[in-house]
Structure 1
Amino acid sequence: MLVRNWMQKNPITVTSGTLVSEAKRILAEKNLHALPVVDNGRLRGLVTRASCLRASDHVARTQDPNEFDYFVNRLRVRDVMVRNPVTVSPDDTIEHCLLIGQELGHAQLPVVDEEEVVGRVVGVISANEVFKLSAQFLGAFERWAGVTLAPIEIGHGTLGRITAVAEQAGAVVYAVYPIADICLTQGNSDREKRVVLRFQHDDMVQVVLALRSAGYRVSEESQEVQSKKRKK
């Protein structure tokens, strides 16, 4: 999964000389969390909604007319932006973005095309994109039913056998995800994973019973998701 296929393309940008009050307005009106700061085609920084709010909140607390005037008419993006922000390339993977976001605590990553003479901002990858991808993986929009199996050792054919059991019970399987269990003790094998299964079926109980009969322990059942689908 490459960044270029999932990023916000052609993002709104501002210059370092833009008033913070104007950047705050754009962020609010467009429901954005950050704006790349670009001067002469080159990325200079990142102004976030949080930094704009901190500046305006300070003015609101002090109730000082001079500070209000400074905020509205003189405070510039260059004064509050994150300078030299971490960036990613259009050819980086979403997995790479997730690792950077987790390690550095960044929720907004400008996407810069360094193949051009001047690295141009061509997009943004944010927590919003990751959230949307997660929702698609789990079938939130399609309202797939699902179960989570208790940790098992994953080997050759394990996921195929689990899928076969569900399909033999009448399920249309859309996704199977092995997920590391951070709660496992150190003595457990690194190959032990929880298995998340997402599918459609008129009666999810049949799938659960089939999995249990095959020796798998079902730790979670997404019955609410399936019931919402039925009410449509």
Structure 2
Amino acid sequence: MFVDKRMTPNPVTITPTTTVADAMDLMRNNKIRRLPVIDHGNLVGIITDRDLREVSPSPATTLSIFELNYLLAKMQIKDIMKKHVITITADATIEEAALSMYNNRIGGLVVVDGNGKVAGVITETDLFKSFVDVMGLPEGKTRITIDVSDKIGVIHEVTGIFKDLGINIGSLVSYRLPNGTETKYELVIRADVSDVDILTQKLNAAGYPVLHIVQIG
């Protein structure tokens, strides 16, 4: 799954001379939390709702509403925007996008095309939706968590049991768990299971203990 399939294309943008008040209105009206800043077609910065909150007067201020509006109308985005923008290309994978957000502790990335022009925005919400779809959660399958060891052929052996029982697998993912000196994995499979007891018996007998089973969706 790639970024260009999950991003919001043609995002709302602003210029460096956009006022803080106008940027606030754009975010509020479009229900978004970040705005790429464009100058003559080039990406020069980014502003987030957090940035705008930080420069907004405190509710405890003694300024009048007229004075507040005047200050926000005079302040421009170029004075508060972040000039170092972390981007990702439209042809990158969503895994790369997720890792970039995680490493940089940010909630969204500006997506650029091959010429470095803004093509879209991808956010943590987009990645969350991708996770839900990749895991097949809306389809209403049975989720089986299996304890496996780190050895060659594990996936082949486990899925072979599902094949022998005529069970169609919708999605599969594994993640590593530390367990003393031996590396252990939990294998999570979502499938159309009609008889969980038989499946559990077969997996346990093959040396793959079933840790958890639940119907999701």
Structure 2 equivalent of residue 161 of structure 1: 157
C-alpha displacement of 1:41: 0.5
Q: Aligned partners of 1:180 and 1:167: how far apart in 2?
A: 24
Structure 2 equivalent of residue 142 of structure 1: 139
Alignment of 1:19-58 (within 5 A): 19-56=19-56, 58=57
| Residue 197 of structure 2 is aligned to residue 198 of structure 1 | no
**AA in 2 matched with 1:195:** L
Return the match for 2:117 from 115, 120, 123.
120
C-alpha displacement of 1:212: 2.4
C-alpha displacement of 1:134: 0.8
CA contact 2:148–2:208 (8 Å) conserved in 1 = no
CA contact 2:88–2:97 (8 Å) conserved in 1 = yes
Q: Aligned partners of 1:222 and 1:193: how far apart in 2?
A: 19
Q: Which runs of 5+ in 2 are unaligned?
A: none
| Residue 178 of structure 2 is aligned to residue 179 of structure 1 | no
Q: Aligned partners of 1:166 and 1:67: how far apart in 2?
A: 69
Deviation string, structure 1 residues 50-93 (Cα, Å, up to 9, x no partner): 2223333x332324226512444222222332212111122333
Q: Aligned partners of 2:127 and 2:7: how far apart in 1?
A: 10
Q: Aligned partners of 1:186 and 1:161: how far apart in 2?
A: 25
Return the match for 1:210 from 202, 208, 212.
202
TM-score (norm 2): 0.86
| Residue 182 of structure 2 is aligned to residue 188 of structure 1 | yes
**AA in 1 matched with 2:55:** A
CA contact 1:170–1:207 (8 Å) conserved in 2 = no
Report the secondary structure of 1:85's partner residue. coil
Q: Aligned partners of 2:81 and 2:213: how far apart in 1?
A: 45
Q: Aligned partners of 1:7 and 1:51: how far apart in 2?
A: 22
CA contact 1:154–1:193 (8 Å) conserved in 2 = no
TM-score (norm 1): 0.81
Deviation string, structure 1 residues 102-142 (Cα, Å, up to 9, x no partner): 221122111122x43xx310111221221111111221222
Q: Aligned partners of 1:89 and 1:159: how far apart in 2?
A: 32
**Sequence identity, in percent?**
25
Structure 1 equivalent of residue 81 of structure 2: 81
Range moving further from structure 2, 81-90 or 16-25? 16-25
Q: Aligned partners of 1:5 and 1:112: how far apart in 2?
A: 13
| Residue 12 of structure 2 is aligned to residue 15 of structure 1 | no
**AA in 2 matched with 1:85:** V
C-alpha displacement of 1:151: 4.2
CA contact 1:170–1:201 (8 Å) conserved in 2 = no
Q: Alignment RMSD, CA only? A: 2.3
Shift in CA distance, 217/98, structure 1 to aligned 2, threshold 3 Å: same
CA contact 1:59–1:68 (8 Å) conserved in 2 = no
Q: Which runs of 5+ in 1 are unaligned?
A: none
Structure 2 equivalent of residue 222 of structure 1: 214
Q: Aligned partners of 1:98 and 1:104: how far apart in 2?
A: 10
| Residue 128 of structure 2 is aligned to residue 131 of structure 1 | yes
